[in-house]
Structure 1
Amino acid sequence: MIKVHKYYSTNQSPRPIDRVLARLSGVKRSGSGWIARCPSHNDQRPSLSVNVDQAGNVLLYCHAGCRTEDVVRALGLSMSDLYAEKPQRRPERKIVATYDYVDENGALIFQVVRYEPKSFAQRRPDGKGGWLYNLDGVQRVLYRLPDVLKAKERGETIFITEGEKDTESLRALGLTATTNPHGANKWRDEYSETLRGAHVVIIPDKDEPGRRHAEQIAKSLYGKAASVKIAELPGAGKDVSDWLAAGYTREDLESLVAEAPEFEPEEPEPAPVSDFEVCDDSVDTDLANAERLAALHKGRALHVPAWGWLTWDGKRWVRDETGEISRLAIETVKSIYREASRCDDPQKRKKLADWARRSESRQRIEAMIALAGPLLAARPDQFDRDPYLLNVLNGTLDLRTMRIREHRPEDFITKIAPVEFDPAAKAPLWEAFLERIFAGNRELIEFIQRAVGYALTGDTKEQCLFILWGTGANGKSTFVTTIQSVLGDYALQTPTETLLAKRHDAIPNDVARLKGARFVSAIESSEGRRINEALVKQLTGGDRICARYLHREFFEFTPECKLFIATNHKPVIHGTDYAIWRRIRLVPFTVTIPEHEQDKELPRKLLAEAPGILNWCLEGCLAWQRQGLGVPEAVRIATEQYRADMDTLAQFIADCCILDPNAKATAKELYEAYVDWCKENGEEPLSQRAFGRSLSERGLTPARFGRSRTRGWLGIGLAAEPPLPPADGADTSAENVRNADLNAKTSQARTFADANLGVFSGNFPYIGKKPENCVRICPQNEDFADGKRPADVFAPSVRGVEAAGGADDSDDDEIPF
C-alpha cells in the first residue's frame, strides 16, 4: 500500500510534483528541489534528486544510475504523470464593438476594440490591410475629433465621458461627446489644447477612480477651456449609460448641467510668513541678513538679473524705480531688534542688538540687498506668461471665460489696465465716434473691434501689422490714444523709428520695451520712410528675439505685441514676398471731420467711458476667439492697392522696358537703368541682389551672353527711347497723367501682342507659340487656365487707374501688359 506523503495537497487537483512526492520516502528539501530514496533499487541513503522545471514538469535523476523509466514504473506511475497538463486554451474572445479614433480630416489613426467577456485592446493599421496591436509612435487624439472641433467652432457644449460606450450614448441624444483612449487617469495635456476655448462638461463614472479622473481633466482644462463643469449624476448606476437606461432624458441632463457650478481648483493654503528664526550662531553676517530679507519678504520682492529688482504692489509686479527694495531691507534690520527682544540668552540678545545697530549702515544694507538677489531670483520668461490673463484695477480677468478673480503674485503679472471691470458699463459716445469715423461701415467697425480684442491677448497667431491710414482730421489718432489709455501698461507707444529701417543698429533698448506689451502703436511717419521688414516679421512671427535695456544684460523673449501704425503716409515696403504682405492690414480712414464738428474735449469725454470701452474691447476679444480676425472688403481692397503702389519694379518695367521672348539685356545695364529711374522718380532702389531676385520672381530668366559670359536676362530688354516729357500747356494733373500713361501702355501692349505673340488667349497675354507652352509674365510666375483674370506686371498701374475712374479705351476685356 502506498502512503500519501505530507507534501501532497489533497484540496486541489494534484500537480505532477505532488503525485511524485506522495509516493517517495525519505523526502527532504535540497536547494530548490528535493532528495529521496530511489524506489528502483535498495536505496539506504537518499540518491534520487527531484526537481521541477518552469513549466511544472518533474525531473528525476538517480545518482546510482537507475533509468528514469524504471524509477517511474517503481512508483506506479507512467511517464506522462511527470508532465504538467497543457493549459486549456482560453475561450476565444468575441469582438462586440470597435471605436475609430481619427484625425481632424477623418483619417483613421487607431482603433479601440471591445471584447466579450469585457476587455479592451488598441490596434492600428499595418498598411497591408491588417492590424498591429500596439500604438507605438501613434498620435493620441480625442474620440470623435472632427465632431469635437466643429462643436467648438460653433460654441456648443462638449461632454467628456469615461469611455467610448458612454460617448455613443450621449451622441444618440444629439449631443457632442468625446473621451480619451485608455480610460481613467490617462488624460493628456494635448487633449486640453484641442479643447482650448471650448465649453466643456465632464460626466464622471460614479466611483472614486471616476471622480479622480474628472478632477484631473478639469484641472488640465482650467484656464484653457472657455468654461468647465463637472456634472455628478444622481441615482443608481455606474455611468451615464446606466443613468440613461434607468429612464433619465436629455432634458434631465441639461437641467443638471445648468445647475452645476463652474469648476474652480482648490487654492493651496498659503505658507505662513514669520520672522526669521536664528538657526545657528552665524547671526551677524551679511549673508544672514540676506536670508532674513528673503524669508521676511518672500512674495514681495524678486530679482531678475536682466531687469533688476521687482516688487509686488498688491496688484502686479513693478520695476523698483523708487527704492522699495531698500525700504524692505530697512524693515529687515528692524526685525533683528525683534529677534533680540525674543532671545532668552543675554549674551545672544546683546550680540543681536549690536549687529542690528551695525546693520543700519549703508554698506551693510547694500550688501544685504546684493546677497539677497540670488535667494529671490526669477527669470524674464516667468512673467506675463499666460496670454489670456488681463490685469485690471479690481482683479485679473481670464479672457477665455471673462471671469474675474483677485490679484495673485504667483501669476507673475507686470501689467495693469487702469480701469475697473464693470460688466454692465456702456460706451455710447465711443460707439457714436466709431460710426462717424468709419462712415457707418459695420463690417469695418466689427473688424477693428476684433483687432483690438485680439490685441488684448498675448496671442500672436494672426501675425498682423495694422496700418491705420488716411489724411488728417479723421479720428485715427483719437482712436489709438483712447485704446492706449484704457489698456494702460498693456499698451505702448513706441517711436516710429523703432519700426523703420535704420542705417545703423542702435542698442535694442526700444525693442526691449516691447516685452509684455500687447497693443503697440506708432503715430505718424514721414513720407517715404521705409518699414524695417525684418523686424516686423520678427515681432509678429511668434519667434523669440533678443534685446536688452541700457547697461543691462541681454535677454530673450517672445513678443506678444500687435502693431498699429497710425499715419498720413503709407510707409514704404520694398519687399514683394508673401512673408511680409500676408502680415499687412491697411485700414482706410476715409472720413475727414470738418473743423466745425471737431471736439477738442472728445478724448477726455471718451475716457469717462473707459469701463464701457473695456467691455467693447472684451466683446471684440470673444468675437475674435469665436470667428477669427477675418478681412473686410474695404481692408482687402486698400491693402491690395497699397501692395500695387509699392511695386516700383513693375512701374520701372512698364516705363523703361520691353518684354519679348527674344529680348535680352545685361544685368549691369538693366540695373543701372533701374537705379537712374529710381533717382528720377524719387524712389529708393532695391539692392542689386534683391533686384535680380525680383526679376526671377516675375518669370524672367537669368543667362550669360557671348564669349565673355556676361551676366544678363532673357525675355526683357530696355526700351529704345525713354518716355517724352509733357508738352507745354498740357494737363499735367495726376489723374490725366495716369490716364495718358495707361492709354499709352494699352496701345503698346496690343501692338506688341499682335506683332510678337502667337497666342492672345482669354483675358490676358501669353508668351509662346502654342497654348500648352504659354507662360504668363507676372510677378508670381504662375500658370493659369485660359479665361481667368490674373494680375500682370502692369496691373498695379491698371488697377490704380481703374480704381480712380481713369480712362480705358479698350472695347473688350483684355488686360494690357
Structure 2
Amino acid sequence: MTFANIDLDAEFRRLAGIDAAPVAPAARQKKKPPRAPKPEGLLKWEAERKAAREAESDSAAVDDETVDSDVRISMMLADRMAGTFLYEHGGKGWRVYLDGRWAACATGEETEIAKVIGPAILKDALGNTASDPDAAGRMIRLAKRAMSAAGVSAALQLARSDRRLAARPDEFDQDPDMLNVANGVIHLPSGELRPHSPDMRMVRQSPVEYKPDAQAPQWLKFLDEISCHDPDWVDYLRRSLAYTLSGRVNEEMLFFMLGRGANGKSVLVNVLRAVLGQFVGSVPTSFLATSKNDDKEGASPVKASLQGLRMALANEVEAGSKLSAQTVKEVTSTEAIAARHLYKELFNFTPTHKLWVRGNHKPIITDNDEGIWRRIALIPFERNFSPDEQDKHLEERLLSEREGILAWLVAGYAEYQRHGLRPARRVAAASAAYRAESDLVGQWLDEEAEIIPGMSCHKDDAYQSYVEWCRRDGLDPKTKTTLTRMLDERGITSGRANTAGRAHIYKGMRLKSERPF
C-alpha cells in the first residue's frame, strides 16, 4: 500500500473510529461506498486541526506585526521626545532638558514619557472605531503593545538612534566663553546675559542668578583679611578665578593654595563651590600622586569626571606626597584627554577644567624641567586667625552675597582679558622658592660639587656621591641615566676622558671630595 493509493477521507474516518477495517487500495476497490455523514468526533477533530493551523498563522503574523509596531511606536516616541530629551551615547544615557540644562535622567523620566504613547494611541483608535473599524483594530493592537513593559523597553531602545535624539559626550558644554547660570547664559568676554536654549547643549549650571550690579562688601572684606591686606594678591586671585570661570585652558596652570589651618582657604573654597555649582568637581589627591602601577588601558573614572568642569579641586595634600609630573602635565594641557568610565568605551574630550589644589604641605616635585614648573602657581595663605578672630557663621554670611560674588568674578574676566594672569609678587616669589627647594640635584651640586668649566669627574664617583647624599636625607635617588639628563640640562655634559682606565666623565664639574680629573 502506498501513500498515493490511500483514500485520505476514508482513512480520517477510520482514525476517528467510524470504519474499523483498514481501507483497501483504490485500485482494488471496484465500487466506492456512498459517503456517510461525518460523525461528531471527526467534525470536532477537523475543527481543532483547523483552529491550530489558524493559530500558527496568526502567531507568525503577530511576530512580524510586533516588529513593525515597535518601530512605529519608537517613531511616535521620538516625535514626542524631540527637543526635550537626548540620548548621550557612550556617556550618561538619557538626558532631559530642565531649567536651562540637559540633566541626566535619574528617576526614569524617559520611561514616564514612553508610557504616555500607548494611551494616546488608544484614544485615537477609539475615535476611529465607527468610521474605520479595521484601522481602529490595528491601532488598538498597537496601543496594547505600547502599553506593555516589553513595548516600552523596545521603543526606548529604538529611539536612541533617532537623529533628533542621538548625541555624543563631546557635544555638551563646548562653548568655552559661555557660563550657564540660573537665569541665563553669561557670555564671559562681553559680560552679556543671554537666554537659555536647549540648542546650546549645556549640562552644567551655576545655581546663582547673574545680576551685574550686585555687590559683595563682606566678600571683599574677607579677601582683604586673608591676603594680609595685599591688593596685588587679591587682584591676582580674582584674575585666576575669573579665568577659571571659562572653558579655556590656554594658561596650562595648576593653582596651589598653601597655608596652615585657620587661614581662610576652606571658607574660600566652600563659597566658590556654592557659587559655581556643577562647574566645580573634586579629584582625589592620590590621582595627582606618583604611581608606578598606572593601567593606561584600564578605566579612568577620575579623568572622565573632569569633562565639562571649570574647576577641579584636590584637597589636603598630605606631608611627603609626591606629585606626578606626567599626570599634572596631562590634566593641565590644552590637548584632548583620553578617559574611560567604568564599563564604558574609551573616549576623548577637550579639557575645560582648571586644577586647584589646597593643602598645608607642599607636595614633592622631583622633576626640575620647565614643563612642570611653568605650570605651578603657589598662592600663599599666610594669615592665621586666632580662635577669638574666627567667625563660625562667616561662610553663611558670605553666601548671602552670592549674586554679588558671581558679578565680581565675571567682572574679573575683563581684567584677565586685559592683563592676563600676571602673577602677584608674593605668588611669584613663593613659586620660585618652591622650585628651588624641590631641586634636589641642585642642592646636591651645591653641597657636594663645584661647577667649574674645564673641570671633570668620573661618572661613577659622581653618582655614588649623589646616591649617598639622597639616602642621608631619606630621599629616593634618580637613576644614573636620569641624573645624566638633568645635569646635561644645566650644561654639565657627559663624555670620555683622554686617559686610559675609567673613561666616562662629567664635564664642567668636580666633586669636592676628590681632586680634579
Q: Normalising by the residue count of structure 1, what TM-score does the alignment of the two structures yield?
A: 0.52
Taking the TM superposition and a 5 Å limit, the aligned residue runs for 1:137-156 are none
- Give 1:289's match in structure 2, choosing from 58, 70, 73: 73
Change (3 A) 1:342 1:400: farther
Question: Contact conserved, 1:574 with 1:686, CA < 8 A, in 2?
Answer: no
What amino acid is the match of 2:104? Answer: R
1:314 corresponds in structure 2 to: 99
Quickly say closer, same or farther: Cα 1:709–1:349, change in 2 above 3 A. Answer: farther
Correspondences of 1:65-144 after superposition (within 5 Å): none
Match of 1:353 in 2: 140
Once the two structures are superposed, what CA deviation does each residue of 1:686-727 show, in whole Å capped at 9, x if it has no partner?
343321111001111201356577533123343328xxxxxx
Q: Structure 1 residues 685, 481: CA separation in 2 closer, same or farther (over 3 Å shift)?
A: farther
Kept after mapping to 2: 8 A contact 1:282/1:288? no
Q: Distance in 2 between the 1:493 and 1:640 partners?
A: 27
In structure 1, what is the Cα distance between the partners aligned to 2:198 and 2:221? 39
Is 1:454–2:454 an aligned residue pair? Answer: no
Tell me which of 216, 232, 238 is aligned to 1:443. Answer: 232
**One of 640, 644, 652 as aligned partner of 2:432:** 640
Aligned counterpart, 1:463 = 252
Identify which of 64, 83, 91 aligns with 1:299. 83
2:272 maps to what in 1? 483
1:689 and 1:332 map into 2 onto residues whose CA distance is: 69
- 8 Å Cα contact 2:458-2:502 kept in structure 1: no
Q: Which amino acid counterpart does residue 365 of structure 1 have in structure 2?
A: V
Q: Is the 8 A contact 1:700 1:713 kept in 2?
A: yes
Alignment partners' CA distance in 2, 1:445 and 1:658? 42
Mapped to 1, the partners of 2:116 and 2:455 lie a distance apart of 84
| Seq. identity, % | 35
Kept in 2, the 8 Å contact 1:305–1:553? The answer is no
CA contact (8 A) 2:118 2:145 kept: no
The answer to whether the 8 Å contact 2:191/2:411 transfers is: no
Contact 1:421 1:614 in 2 (8 A): yes
Distance 1:284 1:715, change over 3 A: closer
Q: 1:432 to 1:352 in 2, by over 3 A?
A: same
Q: Give the drift of 1:594.
A: 0.9
SS across alignment from 1:526: coil
Q: How does 1:697-716 map to 2 (within 5 A)?
A: 697-705=489-497, 710-716=503-509
Q: Distance in 2 between matches of 1:519 and 1:402?
A: 20
How far did 1:396 drift?
Answer: 1.4
Indicate the SS of the match to 1:640: helix
CA distance in 1: counterparts of 2:294 and 2:109, whole angstroms: 35
Q: Which runs of structure 2 are paired with 1:518-557 in the superposition (5 Å)? A: 518-557=310-349
Give the alignment partner of residue 324 of structure 1, picking from 95, 106, 109: 109
Contact 2:256 2:376 in 1 (8 A): yes
Alignment partner for residue 583 of structure 1, among 356, 375, 379?
A: 375
Secondary structure of the residue aligned to 1:671 is helix
TM-score calculated relative to the size of structure 2: 0.81
Q: Closer, same or farther in 2 for the Cα pair 1:674/1:338, shift >3 Å?
A: farther
Q: Between Structure 1 and Structure 2, whose CA radius of gyration is higher?
A: 1
Q: 1:670 to 1:288 in 2, by over 3 A?
A: farther
Q: Report the residue type matching 1:617 in the other structure.
A: L
Which SS does the other structure have where 2:167 is aligned?
coil
The alignment status of 1:625 with 2:417, answered yes or no, reads yes
Q: Is the 8 A contact 2:100 2:197 kept in 1?
A: yes
What is the DSSP-based 3-state SS (H/G/I as helix, E as strand, rest coil) of the residue aligned with 1:596?
Answer: coil
Distance in 1 of aligned mates of 2:194 and 2:150: 42
SS class of match (2:293): coil
One-letter identity of the residue aligned with 1:540 = T
* Aligned mates of 1:336, 1:666 — CA distance in 2: 89
Residue of structure 2 equivalent to 1:743: none
Alignment-derived partner of residue 201 in structure 2: 412
Q: Secondary structure at the match of 1:639?
A: helix
Provide Cα deviations, 1:8-44, integer angstroms capped at 9, x if missing partner. Answer: xxxxxxxxxxxxxxxxxxxxxxxxxxxxxxxxxxxxx
Contact 1:284 1:352 in 2 (8 A): no
Question: Deviation per CA, 1:505-532, whole angstroms, max 9, x where unpaired?
Answer: 2531001100010011111101121222
Is 1:495 the counterpart of 2:284? The answer is: yes
Question: Hey, what's the Cα distance between the residues in 2 that align with 1:494 and 1:595?
Answer: 30
CA displacement at 1:284 relative to structure 2: 4.9
Q: Secondary structure at the match of 1:565?
A: strand
Separation in 2 of the partners of 1:715 and 1:484?
A: 52
Q: Secondary structure at the match of 2:388?
A: helix
The size of the alignment, in residue pairs, is: 443
- What pairs with 1:322-401 in structure 2 (closer than 5 Å)? 322-343=107-128, 344-375=131-162, 376-401=165-190
In structure 2, the residue matched to 1:569 is 361
Q: What is the alpha-carbon distance in structure 1 between the residues aligned to residue 124 and residue 180 of structure 2?
A: 38
- Amino acid of the structure 2 residue aligned with 1:559: P
Instruction: Map Cα deviations across residues 726-779 of structure 1 (whole Å, 9 max, x no partner).
Output: xxxxxxxxxxxxxxxxxxxxxxxxxx9xxx9xxxxxxxxxxxxxxxxxxxxxxx
On the 8 A contact 2:265/2:358 being kept in 1, the answer is yes
1:690 has 2:482 as partner? yes
Partners of 1:446 and 1:587 in 2: how far apart? 12
Q: Against the structure 1 CA distance between its residues 397 and 712, is the aligned structure 2 distance closer, same or farther, given a 3 Å change threshold?
A: same
- Post-superposition offset of 1:295: 1.2
What letter corresponds to residue 438 of structure 1 in structure 2?
A: S
Check whether the contact 2:224–2:234 (CA below 8 A) recurs between aligned residues.
yes
Deviations 1:66-101 (A, max 9, x none): xxxxxxxxxxxxxxxxxxxxxxxxxxxxxxxxxxxx
C-alpha distance in structure 2 between counterparts of 1:710 and 1:332, whole Å:
85
- Which of 212, 216, 219 does residue 423 from structure 1 map onto? 212
Q: Which amino acid in structure 2 is aligned with residue 382 of structure 1?
A: E
SS of the counterpart of 2:352? coil
Gaps of 5+ in 2: 1-64
Q: Aligned AA for 2:221?
A: A
Q: Look up the SS of the partner of 1:463 in the other structure.
A: coil
Kindly indicate whether the alpha-carbon contact (under 8 Å) linking 2:204 and 2:278 is maintained by their aligned counterparts in 1: yes
Give the secondary structure class of the aligned counterpart of 1:486: helix
**Counterpart secondary structure, 2:96:** strand
| Residue of structure 1 equivalent to 2:511 | 718
SS of the residue corresponding to residue 542 of structure 1 reads coil
